[in-house]
Amino acid sequence: MNGLPTTKRIDSDHCVDTKSKKCAGSTFIEALVAMSIFAIFITGACQLLVSHRKIMDMARDHYTAANIAKNRLELVRTFDFDQIPQLTESAIVVNDAGIASTQGHFRRSTTVNTLNTNLYELAITVKIKDRKTLVFNETGETISTYVAMHL
């Protein structure tokens, strides 16, 4: 006939003879499209996991900061009323357990205000170090309460 090889077809979508110009490269393009779609899906999934991890770390840090403040507040119960003003501290770097440490990720401040001869206002503020910039944020957790002398 015209010298071109004839293509044998099983059905309209699959070529048996891959030497034909009509069938050449179709599987490579299909594989490339499939890999592109898969790469887009994996990129989106990875971004979702990274953002989820950041949110979980931030939530954990705020939870830990609140616990550090609560533990400091519980410490007040072990002191006599006249010793409470000695608990005042300013910007002490502490670890996850609330123990002073230069490697800590939290900064705790305790203020004691005398409202009356038998009433103190106690406020504990714990600021959190940003994981990316390693600088303490201005926001944090603050717990305050009043402590009265038992008569």
The tens place of each residue's pLDDT in the chain, 151 residues long, gives 555 555 555 555 555 555 555 555 568 888 889 999 999 999 999 999 999 999 999 999 999 999 999 999 998 888 888 888 988 999 999 998 888 888 889 999 999 999 888 899 999 999 999 888 888 888 889 999 998 887 6
Residue 141: Cβ within 10 Å count: 21
What pLDDT score does 81 carry? 87
What pLDDT score does 22 carry? 59
What pLDDT score does 51 carry? 93
Residue 140: Cβ within 10 Å count: 20
Q: Which residues contact 71 (CB under 8 A, 6 or more apart)?
A: 98
What pLDDT score does 23 carry? 55
Indicate the Cα dihedral angle 17, 23, 27, 32, nearest 10°. Answer: 160
pTM over 0.75: no
Q: Which amino acid appears at position 57 of this protein?
A: D
What pLDDT score does 112 carry? 92
